Structure 1
Amino acid sequence: MGAALHLAHAEQPTPASRNRTKGKGSGGETFADFARQVYSDDRATPKARELLLAFGYATMVAHSEDDQDVHAVWVTARRAMGVTRTGREWRLDRAIAEDAPRYSSGKDRSRRVCAAPRLRPHPDGPDDFRNQQGICGTLADWENYALEKQAGTGWHRFHWFCKRHLDHLARVREQLREPNTLAPEPVPNRGGLLASYFDSDWLTTYRHRLGSPTWEPPVYGISADDWPTPGVEQIPPRARLRLAALDGTLLVETPSSHR
């Protein structure tokens, strides 16, 4: 993938002036190039794409990298995304919170079918999933599961059991007890895109948007580009533009302040 943008740390010195044309990023990258990168990134949700494009527009089109007013850039990005339906919160601020790096286990209620072995064929015939998979298949209660942590990623897999097979549940839980203690911390699978495309003091920004001054990023890093995924080639480092981060005063402005 090509070059990306850079939101510099607030404490970093102003970079040396470079000759650039408006709408271009690092290495001559245009906003159109940047947008293509964002839309081709399978990791990005629709809201994450909005967020990245808002910052990209504010940095590459609406404002010059060499002569940026920090407040103006963030106001532009916020206005580009607009406010929430209630009008009480900037959608950009909420999207930043949702981009905080994390692991989501995907504990889906719709998939909680009993995995105990099937002893007799189900009368619905050989094509029925219970016969094909050789499982009980009865809907399990929400709390009746055994959690398995994958050895390579720490990702969670849920094995469900119905009330008739609680003995199976107890055995599987016991079998998984020791392997689960040896599994690594789960590799994040959500968020971390802002740090992939931009460079800034994202730790402070995430903490503020999450309302948690003690929040810490995963041990794998704050950028999604740094997270290992089995079978997926690591994304190479990106070239970045510079943009100063907001200070504490500007972080708490309200949507009505810049309408």
Structure 2
Amino acid sequence: MGAALHLAHVTELPTRKRKRKGGGGDGDGYDQLVARVYKDERMTSQARDLILMLAWLVQRDPDRFNGGELRSPWTRADTILGTYGTGARKGSRLADLIDSDRPRYEPDWSSEAWQSHRCAAPMIRRAGECGQNASDHSLRIDPDTGWQTPVWFCSRHKDFGHHTRQMLRATERPEPIPNAGGLMPSYLTASDGDAGWIRVYRRASEWKRSRWEPPKAYGLCADDWPTPGRDPIPQKARLRLVLGNGDLNEPHDRTPLESL
């Protein structure tokens, strides 16, 4: 069994006002965080569940202390959410939630560009594109954002498809601007900054048997990512969390995770 994803306690919070029954107070930042989460148009159901759970476990859970020491929110979240499957197929629901928030770029598969499946080959005898049902596609890379757009072609226009693929191979591919994940660092601040979040995301990715590398040019926080045609997200106060000791239990067939 290995130690993995964990948080310890909150520090450097604003001065607390008079406490209410049940623990926590108006000055602990929790209520403001909850309101922001529900107003955030970027929020996914997975990120919302994870952020609100961690904030509650750190700020409001009446059982958060054990002999005067704050129990690890990651360990408690892992216990609450549990696992599923058995043996080699055993999975962690906590790892699933964290992995879904990995900072990354994902093409908008639901967009018209990806759903149209219409051949984009230019016609010679008439203006416009072929427009027939496409059987394959290549990609066009935006030189400013690094984002991908499909270029569809039908069986009649395979030469056009071959040409677009040659252009793709010759195109310099800038690092794409992330457009998914990165919401945990937008609401919670780790004591060791990005290094702590990178470890958290990587351990979850290992649980999912997938590979993940942090964005190099744009950072981990979704608030910091530029979105073409939109103003930057204003910086807001974040709950400050300190990474400490805790366990995310692993199935016996996985490589033990290092302690954070």
TM-score (norm 2): 0.71
- Equivalent of residue 114 in structure 1, options 115, 119, 126: 119
1:124 alignment counterpart = none
- Equivalent of residue 218 in structure 1, options 204, 212, 215: 215
Q: Give 1:101 deviation, angstroms.
A: 0.9
Q: Which has the higher strand share?
A: 2
1:95 alignment counterpart = 97
Distance 1:79 1:242 in 2: 23
CA 14–51 in structure 1, closer or farther in 2 if over 3 Å, else same:
closer
Q: Which has the higher helix share?
A: 1
The 5-angstrom pairing of residues 1-259 of structure 1 reads 15=12, 18-20=15-17, 21=19, 22-24=23-25, 28-31=28-31, 33-62=32-61, 69-71=70-72, 73-78=73-78, 82-83=81-82, 86=85, 88-106=90-108, 110-118=115-123, 134-141=128-135, 144-178=136-170, 180-181=171-172, 183-200=173-190, 201-211=196-206, 215-219=212-216, 220-247=218-245, 250-252=247-249
TM-score (norm 1): 0.71
Is there any run of 5+ residues in structure 1 with no aligned partner, and where? 1-7, 122-132, 255-259
1:5 alignment counterpart = none
What is the aligned-residue RMSD (CA, Å)? Answer: 3.7
Deviations 1:80-130 (A, max 9, x none): 5x3455485442221101211111124566432211235689xxxxxxxxx
The aligned length equals 227
Q: In 2, are the aligned partners of 1:113 and 1:138 still within 8 Å (CA)?
A: yes
Is there any run of 5+ residues in structure 2 with no aligned partner, and where? 1-5, 191-195, 252-260
CA 147–18 in structure 1, closer or farther in 2 if over 3 Å, else same:
same
**Identical-residue share of aligned pairs (%):** 36
Distance 2:35 2:214 in 1: 28
Task: Kindly provide the amino acid, as one letter, of the partner of residue 192 in structure 1.
Answer: G
Distance 2:227 2:143 in 1: 13
CA 250–176 in structure 1, closer or farther in 2 if over 3 Å, else same:
closer
1:4 alignment counterpart = none
Task: Kindly provide the amino acid, as one letter, of the partner of residue 121 in structure 2.
Answer: A
CA 116–89 in structure 1, closer or farther in 2 if over 3 Å, else same:
same
CA 120–79 in structure 1, closer or farther in 2 if over 3 Å, else same:
farther
